[in-house]
Amino acid sequence: MEPETPLLWVLRDSIGLTGTKYGCGIAQCGACTVQIDGAAVRSCVTPASQAIGTRITTIEGLSTDGSHPVQLAWTEFDVPQCGYCMSGQIMTAAALLHKQPNPSDADIDTQITNACRCGTYHRVRQAIHRAAGMHS
């Protein structure tokens, strides 16, 4: 494919990993969030060429069976409604917890900027605190 093809479309259309979603194409919503070398990255504006030689983790790779603490916490709090934003939310949350194992509410405010049209923020916040608690 063309090297400027956004990583999001390589993942979805060329590789067939459809867990990462398209929401805006302009890095505004976070639905496309993957991890590149452990950092949360919006793949809709990341040219695939920039990803060569990096370690890319998508939602499918976060765990083999939904057992990542963030996924467990999300299930415990029954977080998703329509679920479309959730891959991006979870990848962002997992990246945050990797950097800051015990984030404050203020940390969550500034680091979890993903859009959720169903308005699940209440439970996302609780689940992140819970996932942080699972490590300690």
Partner 1 sequence: MTNKPHDQQDTPKTEGMTEMDRREFLTTTAVVGGAMVLGFWLPPRSAQAQTGVAAEPWYRESLVPEINAWITIAPDDTVTIRVGQSEMGTGVFTSNPMMVAEELQCDWSKVRAEYASANRNVREKAPEWTLKVPGEGLSDPAGGGAPVMLGNANGVYRRMSTNSSGSVREGRYYLQLAGAEARERLLLAAATLWGVPASDLVAKDSVITHAATGRRTTYGAMAARAAQIQLPDPSKITIKSPDQWTLMGTEQKNRDVPLKVTGQAVYSVDVRLPGMLYAAAKACPVWGGDVRSYDFNAIKDRPGVHSAVRFGGPRTRESAVGGGSRTSGGHVSGGVAVVADTWWRAKTALDAMPIEWDDGPNATLSSADMRQAHFAAVEDPSAKERIVIDEGNVDAAMGRAATVVEATYTLPYVGHAPMEPGSAIAIVTADRVELWTGSQHANSALTAAAREAGIAPEQVFVHQMFLGGGYGIDNGNTRANQQAVAVAKTLNGRPVMLMWSREEDWGFGLRPRPMGLGVLKAGLDADGWPIAIEVRTTGDYSGDQATRGLTASPYFVPNYRFESRPRRFHVPFVQRRATGSSINCFYVESFIDELAHTAGKDPYLYRRELIARNPAPPKPGVGGFNQRDNWLKALDMVAEMSGWGRPLPEGWARGIAIDDRRRTTRPHTTVCAQVHTVSVSRRGQLRLHRVDVALDEGFSFVNPLSVRKQVEGQIAWGYDDAMYQEVTIRDGHAVEVNFDTYPISRMNEYPREVNIAFFKTNKWLYGTGEEAIPQVAPAISSAVFQITGKRIRSLPLRHHDLSWG
Closest approach of partner 1 to the CB of residue 130, in Å: 13
We find the least distance from the C-beta atom of residue 63 to partner 1, in angstroms, to be: 5
| Distant-in-sequence, close-in-space partners of 26: CB < 8 Å, separation ≥ 6 | 44, 45
Cβ distance to partner 1 smaller for residue 41 or 90: 90
Give me the least distance between CB of 96 and partner 1, in Å please. 11
> What b/e string do you get for 18-49 counting C-beta neighbours within 10 Å, with b at 16 or more?
ebbbbbeeebebbbbbbbbeeebbbbbbbebe
Is the Cβ of residue 100 or residue 113 nearer to partner 1 in the bound state?
113
Judged by beta carbon, residue 35 or residue 41, the one nearer partner 1 is 35
| Amino acid making up residue 119 | G
Closest CA to 58 of 79, 81, 100, 88: 88
Residue 76 to residue 104: CA distance in whole angstroms: 20
Least CB distance to partner 1 at residue 32 (A): 11
CB of 94 to partner 1, least distance (A): 7
Buried b (16+ CB within 10 A) or exposed e, 58-69: bbeebeeeeebb
